[in-house]
Structure 1
Amino acid sequence: MSLVRTEEQRSLAEIVRSFVAKRSPLSAIRVMITEGRAYDQDVWRTLSGELGLSGLIVPEHHGGTGGSWADLAVALAELGAGLVPSPLLASGVLVSGALMASDDEDVKAELLPRLADGSLLGALAVSEAESPRWIPDRPRTVARNDGDGVRLSGRKNAVLNGCEADVLLVQAVREGRSELHLVDRGTSGLSVTRTPAIDPTRSVASVELEDCLARPLAGDATAALSQLADLADFALAAEQVGALRACLEMTVQYAGSRFAFGQPIGAYQGVKHKLADMYTQWSLCDAALRVAAEAEGSAEQPTTAAAVRALTSSTYADAAQTAMLLHGGLGFTWEHDAHLYLKNAIAGNVLLGEPAERLERVALGLGLA
Structure 2
Amino acid sequence: MTTAVLDPEKRELLDLSDDLLERYCSIDHLRACLDSRVAHTDALWNRLAEAGLVSALIAEQHGGVELTASHLSGVLFEFGRRAVPEPFLETAVIATAILGAVPGDEAGAWLERIAAGDAIVAIHLDGASQVAFARDADLLLAIAEDDTVRAYLPGELDIRDLPALDPLRPLARVGLRGDGALLEAAPDAVRRARTLALAGAACLLAGATRSLLDLTVDYVTVRTQFDRPVGSFQAVKHKIADVAVMADMATSAALSAFDGADEPDAWRHAAAAKAYAGDAGALANLHALQLHGGIGFTWEYQLHIWLKRVMSLGAAYGTTSSLRRELARQLLADVAGDRSR
Q: What is the TM-score normalised by the length of structure 2? A: 0.89
Letter in structure 2 aligned against 1:218: E
Q: Which has the higher helix share?
A: 2
Check 1:201–1:127 CA distance in 2 against 1; reply closer, same or farther (3 A cut): farther
The residue number in structure 2 matching 1:295 is: 260
Q: Which has the higher strand share?
A: 1
The residue number in structure 2 matching 1:215 is: 181
The residue number in structure 1 matching 2:250 is: 285
Map 1:7-156 → 2, pairs under 5 A: 7-49=8-50, 51-100=51-100, 102-128=101-127, 134=128
Aligned residue pairs, count: 332
Greater shift, 3-12 or 243-252, is seen at 3-12
Check 1:211–1:295 CA distance in 2 against 1; reply closer, same or farther (3 A cut): closer
Map 1:150-299 → 2, pairs under 5 A: 157-171=129-143, 179-187=148-156, 190-211=157-178, 214-220=180-186, 223-299=188-264
Letter in structure 2 aligned against 1:180: V
Determine which of 333, 342, 354 is the counterpart of 2:319: 354
Deviations 1:308-354 (A, max 9, x none): 11110221121122112111111111111222211111121111122
CA RMSD between the two structures: 2.4
Deviation of residue 21 (structure 1)? 2.3
Deviations 1:174-226 (A, max 9, x none): xxx76322222234xx32222111111102222223336x3221245x54432
Preserved contact between residue 125 and residue 317 of structure 2 (Cα < 8 Å): no
> Secondary structure of 1:55's partner?
coil
Deviation of residue 32 (structure 1)? 1.0
Deviations 1:21-67 (A, max 9, x none): 22211232122122111222211110122x21111222333322222
Preserved contact between residue 135 and residue 161 of structure 2 (Cα < 8 Å): yes
Letter in structure 2 aligned against 1:271: V
Deviation of residue 167 (structure 1)? 1.4
Preserved contact between residue 198 and residue 270 of structure 2 (Cα < 8 Å): yes
Instruction: For structure 1, list consecutive stretches of 5 or more residues without a partner in the other structure.
Output: 129-133, 135-156
Instruction: For structure 2, list consecutive stretches of 5 or more residues without a partner in the other structure.
Output: 337-341
Question: Distance between the aligned counterparts of 1:105 and 1:302, measured in 2?
Answer: 28
Deviations 1:258-288 (A, max 9, x none): 1110111111101111111111111111221
> Secondary structure of 2:177's partner?
strand
Deviation of residue 88 (structure 1)? 1.0
Letter in structure 2 aligned against 1:15: L
User: Equivalent pairs: percent with the same residue?
Assistant: 28
Preserved contact between residue 192 and residue 262 of structure 2 (Cα < 8 Å): no
